[in-house]
C-alpha cells in the first residue's frame, strides 16, 4: 500500500490511437541500485509517458500493480546479476495470469550479451542493456505499448 506514495501520476499523458501510454517501472527483489531506473523513468516522463514508479517489488507485487494500474508495459531494471532467475519468475507468473500479449515486458540494466536471447526466449519483448541510448530505450518502450495496444 505504501508504494502508492511513490507512484507518479503527474506525467503528461500521450495518446496512441485511443489509449494513453502507461508504463510500470520496477526493480525485482532487493536490488539496491537505482540510478538506472530513475533515469529511465525521467526519460519516459519527458517523452510524455505516464510512469508508475513502483521501485522494489517481488514478481507477485509487480504483476499485481501492473494489472491494477492497467499499464501496457512493465520495465524491469536489474543490475545485480539476478536477471535470469527473477526474469523467469516474473514471466512464469505473467503467463499463468494470462497476461501474455496484454502487457509487454522489457528488461534493462547490467546484462551480459549472451543472456539477451535467453530473456527474449522467456517472453521479454525487448532488452536494453547498460549503454542503451535515450532514443533506443524510449523508442522500444513506446513501440511495445503500440504492439500491445493493437492486440
Partner 1 sequence: MQEEKIDAIKKTTRDVLKESFPRKEHTPLYNSEALSKLHAGFEQWKNQMVRKEDLEQWHQVPRTVLGSDIPRELVYTPLNLADFDYDTHLGHPGQEPFTRGIHSNMYRGRTFTQRQLVGFGAPEDTNARIRFLLEHGATGINLLFDMPTIQMYDCDDPMSRGSVGSCGVSVNHVGDWELLFQGIDIARETVSIVTHYPSNTAILFPMYLVMAERRGIPWEQLRGSVQNDVTLEEVVRNAAEYIPPRDCFRIECDNIEFIRSHVPRWNFITLNGYNLREFGTSGITEIAVAFAHAMAILDEMIRRGHDVDWVGERLAFFWSVGMDFFEEVCRLRAARRLWYKIMKYKYRARNSRSMWMRCHVQTSGISLVREEPLNNIIRSAFEALAAVLGGVQSLHVDSYDEAFAVPSEEASLLSLRTQQIIEHETGITKVVDPLGGSFYVEALTNEIEERIMDEITEIEKQGGYVEAVSNGFLLRKIYNYFYEEQKKIERGEIKIVAHNWQKSAHSEDIEAFRYPEEAEQKQLARLQKFKSERDPQEVESALKALKEACKKGVNIVPYTLNCARAGCTVGEQWKIFKEAFGLWKRPSFF
String of contacts with partner 1 for each residue 98-137, x by CB under 8 A: ------------x-xxx--------------xxx-xx---
**Is the separation of the CB atoms in 106 and 140 below 8 Å?**
yes
137: Cα separation from own chain's centroid: 11
**Is the separation of the CB atoms in 107 and 124 below 8 Å?**
yes
Of 57, 71, 91, 119, the one binding partner 1 by CB under 8 A: 57
Q: Of the two residues 58 and 146, which places its CB atom closer to partner 1 in the complex?
A: 58
Q: Which stretch binds partner 1 (CB under 8 A): 15-23, 53-61, 93-101, 143-151?
A: 53-61
**Is the separation of the CB atoms in 102 and 148 below 8 Å?**
yes
Smallest gap from Cβ 89 to partner 1, in A, equals 6
Q: Which stretch binds partner 1 (CB under 8 A): 82-90, 92-100, 118-126, 138-146?
A: 82-90
- Residue located via cell numbers 489509449: 19
Spell 28-41 as b/e; 16+ CB within 10 A means b. beebeeeebbeebb
CA pair distance 10, 110, nearest whole angstrom: 29
Smallest gap from Cβ 150 to partner 1, in A, equals 30
Residues binding partner 1 (CB under 8 A): 2-3, 5-6, 8, 27-35, 37-39, 41-42, 45, 53, 55-58, 60, 79-82, 85-86, 88-89, 110, 112-114, 129-131, 133-134
Amino acid at each position: 500500500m505504501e508504494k502508492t506514495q511513490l507512484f507518479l501520476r503527474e506525467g503528461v499523458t500521450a495518446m496512441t490511437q485511443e489509449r494513453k501510454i502507461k508504463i510500470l517501472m520496477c526493480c525485482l527483489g532487493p536490488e539496491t541500485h537505482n540510478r538506472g531506473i530513475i533515469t529511465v523513468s525521467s526519460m519516459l516522463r519527458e517523452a510524455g509517458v505516464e510512469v508508475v514508479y513502483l521501485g522494489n517489488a517481488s514478481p507477485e507485487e509487480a504483476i499485481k500493480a501492473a494489472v491494477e494500474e492497467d499499464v501496457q508495459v512493465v520495465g524491469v531494471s536489474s543490475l545485480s546479476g539476478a536477471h535470469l532467475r527473477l526474469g523467469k519468475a516474473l514471466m512464469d507468473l505473467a503467463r499463468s495470469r494470462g497476461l501474455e500479449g496484454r502487457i509487454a515486458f522489457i528488461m534493462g540494466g547490467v546484462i551480459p550479451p549472451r543472456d539477451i536471447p535467453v530473456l527474449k526466449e522467456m517472453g521479454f519483448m525487448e532488452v536494453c542493456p547498460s549503454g542503451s541510448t535515450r532514443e533506443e530505450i524510449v523508442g522500444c518502450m513506446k513501440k511495445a505499448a503500440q504492439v500491445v495496444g493493437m492486440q
